[in-house]
Amino acid sequence: AQSVTQLDSQVPVFEEAPVELRCNYSSSVSVYLFWYVQYPNQGLQLLLKYLSGSTLVKGINGFEAEFNKSQTSFHLRKPSVHISDTAEYFCAVSEEDTGGFKTIFGAGTRLFVKA
């Protein structure tokens, strides 16, 4: 069975500093990987996704992530964060199942950007 572990529940960082949010997964089959962002009292918004091809994926708002199959990781990075990046970030893993796709979400990492 697939699982997703977000290694940090909270990440405080100063504005304009780089940040990395870590995500590890386990699965017995090929997977598709996603990062979503959630602002307070809103739904989740897709940041980026890895389906196949290049292991470095670029998303919206200057975020990127790298798929590392040997380490089963999909860490999210941004070289310089802004106050507006303060939000909850969720890593998700999707694998094909008999009924279509089965997707599970990590517990989330709260990014707090300080001035």
Partner 1 sequence: EAEVAQSPRYKITEKSQAVAFWCDPISGHATLYWYRQILGQGPELLVQFQDESVVDDSQLPKDRFSAERLKGVDSTLKIQPAELGDSAMYLCASSDRDRRGDTQYFGPGTRLTVL
Pick 21 or 106: Cβ nearer partner 1: 106
Check residue 3 for interaction with partner 1 (CB under 8 A).
Answer: no
Check residue 53 for interaction with partner 1 (CB under 8 A).
Answer: no
Q: What is the Cα Rg of the chain in Å?
A: 14
Q: How far apart are CA 36 and CA 42, in angstroms?
A: 12
Q: How many positions of this chain bind partner 1 (CB under 8 A)? A: 24
**Helix, strand, or coil (residue 62):** helix
The pair of three-digit structure tokens given for residue 91, joined into one six-digit string: 């890593």
Q: Which of residues 63-102 bind partner 1 (CB under 8 A)?
A: 90, 94, 99-102
Contact window for partner 1 (CB under 8 A) among 17-25, 48-56, 64-72, 74-82: 48-56
Q: How far is the CB of 82 from partner 1 (least distance, A)?
A: 23
Q: How far apart are CA 91 and CA 4, in angstroms?
A: 7
Q: How far is the CB of 110 from partner 1 (least distance, A)?
A: 8
Q: Note the residues at the interface with partner 1 (CB under 8 A).
A: 32, 34, 36, 41-46, 49, 51-52, 90, 94, 99-108
